[in-house]
Amino acid sequence: MRTVIIGAGQAGRRCAEALRELDAAAGILLLGEEAHPPYDRPPLSKAVLLGTDPGNGLFVRAAEFYAERRIDLRLGTRVAAIHPAARAVETAAGERIGWDHLVLATGARARRLRIPGAEDPRVLTLRTLEDAEGLKARLAARPRLAVVGGGLIGLEVAASARQLGCAVSVLEAADRLMARCVPPAIGARYAALHRGHGVDLHLSCALRAIEPTPDGGLLLIGDGARIAADLVVAGIGGVPETALAEAAGIAVQDGILTDAQGRTSIPGIFAAGEVARFPHPFWGGRAMRLEAWQVAQTQPAAVARAILGMDAPPDEVPWHWTDQFGWNLQVLGDPDPSLTLVQRAEGEHRLTAIALDAAGRARGAVLINNGRDATPCRRLIAGGKVLDAAALADAGTPLRSFL
């Protein structure tokens, strides 16, 4: 039985690895469009830009890993079409490759600005290692950088560029930072962090246009602000790479629609990682498409199990993180702004905040420089125990005692 995986990013790699772990005999072909063996993307906006050692955080596996595991890794290979009836894919070079199971791990591309002036070559996005290396080279000249988008990628790029000595502006259309993932109180702390490091932060500032200036720079025209820059990076989210799936007649709706184990609308074809929109148990089975390291790490293993006729692994509490200006932020579960946020401050720059629902059950948590609390928080969220908010607010009482 041969499985062909389209996309050699983190999700594709994890699916291949899991298949091999579970089935010594599986035929595994991993097709990557990029020239590099699989890499994880979190270091791109931090260690790669800063030129610091990413450890094994970038290329997680050694080059020989794939051959050792008999994973047939073909790089620089673009798939042009999927032929579901024939159970084959066709590469851009015209090769037809047959499969018994097909996994689409095509990921997402960076969303591009759609405003006048956005086509200027100095308006960049960050998605690939080439993007990161190109941006790093440009930052070496210390340009005035304008970052569009106050989400995770935008703020990580802003922090890295500031650390490299660039003048940095951030424009965010919402009235707070990281609005999609942390409560306002946490976003406010990060606004203060960035401003404290000299970032020129513009909230409630939707970008309307980018214009070249007579001095060879750029002018960003935002709501209530005009910002001069030499370089622009847009960090405004990702667009799932669904074109192949759509052309093959697979059901797509802002992501490839799948069940909990990645089965698409066509039998034998699966989707893994951030391209997949799947019913998430943490949100009561609501269909979610999550752009997070954790999803690319664990969901493809569930897909591998489905291919082999095995059940899904146990659910995990959703988790993601961001590192900015030396601060580590971790978000567990869903700390929705509508919930009651219990803050456990441990010193000025160390905090665990737990979001309780109306019944007093932990639904989410946010940790600033306090990763020690991640596992206890994960257990509190998974356990569903009713907690006493006043007792929980006492940072002197270890979280373990609430488990």
Partner 1 sequence: MADWHRVAAEAELKPETPLGIRIGDVQVAVVRLADGIFAINDVCTHEFALLSEGFCEDGKLECPLHQACFDIRTGRALSEPAEVDVATYPTKVENGAVFVQV
Interface positions with partner 1 (CB under 8 A): 40, 43, 47, 52-57, 60-61, 297, 319, 321, 323, 328, 370-376
Number of other CB atoms surrounding residue 155 within 10 Å: 29
Sign, Cα dihedral of 341, 344, 347, 349: negative
| Least distance (Å) between residue 138 CB and partner 1 | 24
| Least distance (Å) between residue 43 CB and partner 1 | 7
C-alpha 336/C-alpha 314 separation (Å) is 24
CB 191 within 8 A of CB 176: yes
Output 63 or 390, the one with its CB closest to partner 1.
Answer: 63
| Least distance (Å) between residue 313 CB and partner 1 | 14
Output 199 or 399, the one with its CB closest to partner 1.
Answer: 399
Output 51 or 371, the one with its CB closest to partner 1.
Answer: 371
Output 251 or 403, the one with its CB closest to partner 1.
Answer: 403
Output 52 or 340, the one with its CB closest to partner 1.
Answer: 52
CA-based max dimension of the chain: 65
CB 171 within 8 A of CB 202: yes
Output 14 or 176, the one with its CB closest to partner 1.
Answer: 14
| Least distance (Å) between residue 270 CB and partner 1 | 21
> Strand, helix or coil at 57?
coil
List the end-to-end C-alpha distance of the chain, in Å, as a whole number.
45
Closest C-alpha among 256, 234, 260 to residue 247:
256
C-alpha 24/C-alpha 68 separation (Å) is 12
| Least distance (Å) between residue 325 CB and partner 1 | 14
| Least distance (Å) between residue 350 CB and partner 1 | 10
Output 15 or 170, the one with its CB closest to partner 1.
Answer: 15
Closest C-alpha among 2, 8, 65, 66 to residue 296:
8
| Least distance (Å) between residue 402 CB and partner 1 | 15
Number of other CB atoms surrounding residue 339 within 10 Å: 19
| Least distance (Å) between residue 55 CB and partner 1 | 5
Token readout for 109 is 């591309």
* Residue count of the chain: 403
For residues 60, 66, 69 and 71, what is the CA-based torsion angle, rounded to 10 degrees?
120
C-alpha 233/C-alpha 120 separation (Å) is 11
Closest C-alpha among 118, 147, 117 to residue 49:
147
| Least distance (Å) between residue 300 CB and partner 1 | 12
Output 61 or 197, the one with its CB closest to partner 1.
Answer: 61
Using the structure block, give the residue that is written with the tokens 């051959």: 67
Output 152 or 218, the one with its CB closest to partner 1.
Answer: 152
| Least distance (Å) between residue 287 CB and partner 1 | 26
CB 254 within 8 A of CB 87: no
Using the structure block, give the residue that is written with the tokens 């995990």: 316
Output 282 or 321, the one with its CB closest to partner 1.
Answer: 321
Closest C-alpha among 118, 94, 82 to residue 4:
82
